[in-house]
Amino acid sequence: MRPDPHGKYLRPSANDWGAYQQYVKDQLTELLTWYGLIGLLWFDDEWEPTREEWESVGLESHIRSLAPDIVINDRLVGSGDYRTPEQFIPTRPLDEPWECCMTRCDTWSYVPEDQNYKPLYEIIRTAVEVVAKGGNLLLNVGLRPMAASRPSSSPCWTGWRGGWTATRTPCTGFGRALSRGSTTDSAQPLATKPTCSHWQSRWKP
């Protein structure tokens, strides 16, 4: 394993890392064979181990041998079917499928002290911009124990989601369905564009 540049984490020994790799492979095998059809795997550790350390080629081959049509994000180092920019929107449309990963506050998990909620108008603008550039939006809401959402975010989120689905119109020519084996001609729109003039008047500061 590479040295930790921040000096925060203990590094596993070669034996421990090998055991962990086998554990990951066994868990993936269980997930992809015991629980019906799995459409997508979302990895999240591309910044530390290298492609060689993860043995990404072999791991991806194993995954696809069990689920040939599965979609994999780009965080299995050096592999994947789509890109996942985090906490920013690309300045221009990408040439490959992508998903923008954003948090509702500043943190991914539930942190009671984190009250820096993004205002609703900002989330709407983000969603519209992402869809207009051909992407998908992953909006994270950190949940409290028992899967309850944060009280101060629930009314805002519920209202926006209801308004989006109630007033949507087709967003022709933008996002495409993300599925392995589909072609541009057969792909369907990935998302819809909201008609949100009433949201702008209601929520814009």
Look at residue 151 in the predicted model and tell me its pLDDT. 57
Tracing tokens 């554990």 back to the chain, one arrives at 23
Q: What is the pLDDT of residues 115-138, one digit of tens each?
A: 898 999 999 999 999 999 999 999
Residue 193's SS3 state is strand
**C-alpha span between 69 and 31 (Å, rounded):** 15
Residue 101 parent element (H or E) = strand 99-103
Tell me: pLDDT of 20 over 60: yes
What predicted TM-score, i.e. pTM, was given to this entire model?
0.69
Residue of 174 and 3 predicted with greater confidence = 3
